[in-house]
Structure 1
């Protein structure tokens, strides 16, 4: 079923399986045709960020002609970035986005140089605030005080081992409920929709715990919020910076979701705050979950319960949007190539027989780890990665002058499909990293969560995704459960569903269905 969200006079149509929305409505086409060129003209004429010395990929850097480049990037970001990468590998080039130029840094040397620059020279948070529009959808405070990042890096990562049994319990319960047992019959499943629900349940088992992680109304709100924020990012990208504060006022759905979530979370927040007031900050049975860690931080900032709710929703957006896409990619590969299942199942069953369903066992599943890393490399999460904003002017080692205010990125797929970085890069090779590990015996170099200038799915360097350790364990738990408990296939056997590419995201095919058949209980 499709739905339509009206943003005052601007209507963006989408289906629940299509968080990117649609850029094809007449009102948006008219907007792109008239407003964006004028905005780019003004930006080019008056912006202090002069980038004419940097080569342009797509059309021209001249004020109005650059709009052709915007159109090309919106239609085919993957192709534009690949062409620029091929021409300028090891150097930099720029592409026209709707509200700014993106300076694209390529090659191992420059990408590594970019991620090593100090925070007073380049800022990841500022770049993410601009490109992901989080400064408008979540507020400027999240840019100035991103206190959620150390919570993820320390508390969440530290508690992965004791949390894992709960995550596994939720994964198994969710799969059993959402993909029912039907004997030897195949069950058709709308993949992205069901996977989104399972990811939401498993993630919120760690975020808010039982019983809320199984509250359908709460989960629907979290998923709807994720879709709304993804749509808002696309919508806000169409406006120049000066108009974004006005444009965001046209988006009513995000605040509505916050208020809906308040109804579910407020009783739990009030109860925990009351316990802390009556029993002290370290009362017995104090929960160790994301909700509690955020409450503790919010209390030190004298903020409100609404701040706690907004941060929980931010955690849900990050978890649901990326993890459900990542898992769906991998599920499509497994269903398209059933021969991958046997070696994965052999490894998983052997490890589980020895260590059970634990975080330790996840760390021993090298074939599974390789399979998921390869899926991430092959499909991608975003067109660009390693985002940084220049906080002052500087010059790269190749002599390129970068003015203050410049947004810098690296092209993810072009990097991952470079034959200098990978053997047969256009081939999906599920166990490529197992072989590489066996060759150099590196303990961490080829792991799913390890970043490098050649593997930028999670970014790279000190600002790489802090939640990737949680995500990796959650995804491995889910895929291991599927491999052991189900056979899977596609409607069209062997035909991998095509991904959907936009200027701001890469997503798995939103309509594809996967057939599941429960395996014999003795194999579970």
Structure 2
């Protein structure tokens, strides 16, 4: 700091950051859209700076004040426009990519191009692979999924006798989900390799940590600071070492025997190779896609299952009904993907847990890319470059949408199936109330054209894991009746990372 050149540099950067803040918040064209809390510039600065701590409360306050409209809250270096009513949420979900860009919204909120690389940010063929090949193969691959669930719980939980054992729920779940997901991604034996699995978890943690750091820099500075704060090279190198031999072997066999050679593994590597352009058919490119798929699968599924376990152990009246259902269905149908469809209570419990514990305060982030902006049906116009999203958490807690919406009711959706099935088309009733169903009033997986492409795999994995748990373990909370508090940072809502759940072997087995 004694170097005058350093002082000048820091002074210029400070000036540019303040100028970026002022430019972001001063736009007379937006005056008609209400601001939550404060309309004064100093208040906007404070709300933006304090968003990581107070973002959820700002969004709740905005929803309470403007339940049928659009409001804005201050983020560092930009406004975030939030829609409240399901009608307007549907308009976001239905808008074409050329008007409201899903991928542009991802880059605003989660800059993949800088965090991971331009190839995966600009070519999204892995999304098509997950939406098509992965989903189509869930029935065929389910025996592998179930086998890995059984083996992973046995290895990770490791119970002895009939004693209770306390386990940190989120790390335990991440270890299990990493194994189960990679059974479909890379197969045996790599899906059980501890170094490989820990590296996938570490990659997810590194990316999330880098992303939080990036939030503090204006957009024009992020390309400059990204190489300094993005810590991913080590985990990519470990993944390359583990996966390169597998990928090279697949490419060699395809070249020698053709793309449909006998004994070709039915996993994500093979499915990606089917969709990849020639320039993507190499180990470094494919490894990035596999790491990104692991990031999505491990991070979101682990949080969802951990939240469900916290809900179950603080509301143990749900355990025996789900156990009875799983015992009965498996006795009648065996452990199959189809059998999961008959577990209405388990499906309902997970959907209700996601409703109350979705991992984002606001979801469906989009960037307005049309030069003329985007006009909602209520006449509100957002200019090009705006960031817009839906008030997911408040919508889920709205009692005009769900009866007693602030109360956890694990069998809410199973009961609605039974109540309405006799008077309406049964298939339609089931479709609207099952875990994979999306809609403008249920945003755990988003809704519209860009609803989560991996939700069918996630739901299969979660239901099979919960069925396995209720059939094989007794459970209780670390503190009876006390649900561990969530960790909230900006838009992100995560389950408590250190909270424990107690397991013991099911005593009536």
TM class, shorter-chain normalised?
A: over 0.9
Q: Which residue of 2 aligns with 1:455?
A: 442
1:24-53 deviations in whole A, cap 9, x for unaligned?
A: xxxxxxxx99986553124345x8x95333
The alpha carbon displacement at 1:309 in A equals 0.5
CA distance in 2, matches of 1:98, 1:229: 20
8 A contact 1:437–1:446 mirrored in 2: yes
Deviates more, 1:502-511 or 1:308-317: 502-511
User: Do residues 139 (structure 1) and 117 (structure 2) align?
Assistant: yes
TM-score (norm 1): 0.90
TM-score (norm 2): 0.93
8 A contact 2:166–2:500 mirrored in 1: yes
The alpha carbon displacement at 1:253 in A equals 2.2
The alpha carbon displacement at 1:305 in A equals 1.3
CA distance in 1, matches of 2:299, 2:343: 25
User: Do residues 43 (structure 1) and 21 (structure 2) align?
Assistant: no
Q: Which residue of 2 aligns with 1:57?
A: 36
Matches within 5 A, 1:290-439: 290-392=268-370, 393-439=373-419
Q: Structure 1's 476 and 33: CA in aligned 2 closer, same or farther, altered over 3 A? A: farther
1:370-393 deviations in whole A, cap 9, x for unaligned?
A: 000000111111121122111111
1:388-416 deviations in whole A, cap 9, x for unaligned?
A: 11111132111111111111101111010
1:82-116 deviations in whole A, cap 9, x for unaligned?
A: 10001111110111112321110110211112211
Counterpart selection for 1:110 from 88, 94, 101 = 88
The alpha carbon displacement at 1:470 in A equals 0.2
CA distance in 2, matches of 1:426, 1:147: 39
Deviates more, 1:270-279 or 1:67-76: 67-76
User: Do residues 273 (structure 1) and 254 (structure 2) align?
Assistant: no
Matches within 5 A, 1:180-195: 180-195=158-173
The alpha carbon displacement at 1:302 in A equals 4.6
User: Do residues 258 (structure 1) and 222 (structure 2) align?
Assistant: no
The alpha carbon displacement at 1:237 in A equals 1.3
8 A contact 2:115–2:230 mirrored in 1: no
Q: Which residue of 2 aligns with 1:6?
A: none
8 A contact 2:162–2:504 mirrored in 1: yes
User: SS of the counterpart of 2:211?
Assistant: helix
Q: Structure 1's 515 and 37: CA in aligned 2 closer, same or farther, altered over 3 A? A: farther
8 A contact 2:346–2:463 mirrored in 1: yes
User: Do residues 475 (structure 1) and 456 (structure 2) align?
Assistant: no
Q: Which residue of 2 aligns with 1:445?
A: 432
CA distance in 2, matches of 1:116, 1:61: 34
CA distance in 2, matches of 1:300, 1:364: 43
Q: Structure 1's 33 and 66: CA in aligned 2 closer, same or farther, altered over 3 A? A: farther
CA distance in 2, matches of 1:449, 1:414: 20
Deviates more, 1:494-503 or 1:300-309: 300-309
Counterpart selection for 1:505 from 472, 475, 492 = 492
CA distance in 1, matches of 2:503, 2:14: 46
User: Do residues 196 (structure 1) and 174 (structure 2) align?
Assistant: yes
Deviates more, 1:102-111 or 1:207-216: 102-111
CA distance in 1, matches of 2:36, 2:113: 28
8 A contact 2:340–2:463 mirrored in 1: yes
Q: Which residue of 2 aligns with 1:71?
A: 49
Q: Structure 1's 325 and 33: CA in aligned 2 closer, same or farther, altered over 3 A? A: farther
CA distance in 2, matches of 1:344, 1:463: 32
8 A contact 2:354–2:444 mirrored in 1: yes
Counterpart selection for 2:142 from 164, 175, 179 = 164
Matches within 5 A, 1:3-18: none
CA distance in 1, matches of 2:439, 2:397: 14
1:264-287 deviations in whole A, cap 9, x for unaligned?
A: 001101111110111111101111
Q: Which residue of 1 aligns with 2:10?
A: none
Q: Structure 1's 477 and 219: CA in aligned 2 closer, same or farther, altered over 3 A? A: same
Q: Structure 1's 253 and 369: CA in aligned 2 closer, same or farther, altered over 3 A? A: same
Q: Which residue of 2 aligns with 1:179?
A: 157
Aligned residues: 488
**Runs (5+) with no aligned partner, structure 1:** 1-31
1:440-484 deviations in whole A, cap 9, x for unaligned?
A: 221211011101111011111111000000000001111111100
1:270-312 deviations in whole A, cap 9, x for unaligned?
A: 1111101111111011111111122333353355311100100
Deviates more, 1:271-280 or 1:111-120: 111-120
Counterpart selection for 1:128 from 81, 94, 106 = 106
CA RMSD, aligned part only? 1.8
Q: Which residue of 2 aligns with 1:16?
A: none
Q: Structure 1's 329 and 35: CA in aligned 2 closer, same or farther, altered over 3 A? A: farther
Q: Which residue of 2 aligns with 1:14?
A: none
The alpha carbon displacement at 1:260 in A equals 1.1
User: Do residues 82 (structure 1) and 63 (structure 2) align?
Assistant: no
CA distance in 2, matches of 1:135, 1:170: 33
Q: Which residue of 2 aligns with 1:488?
A: 475
CA distance in 2, matches of 1:477, 1:458: 19
CA distance in 1, matches of 2:399, 2:25: 36
User: SS of the counterpart of 1:253?
Assistant: coil
User: SS of the counterpart of 1:43?
Assistant: helix
The alpha carbon displacement at 1:184 in A equals 0.9
1:127-165 deviations in whole A, cap 9, x for unaligned?
A: 012212212112233332211111011100000001111
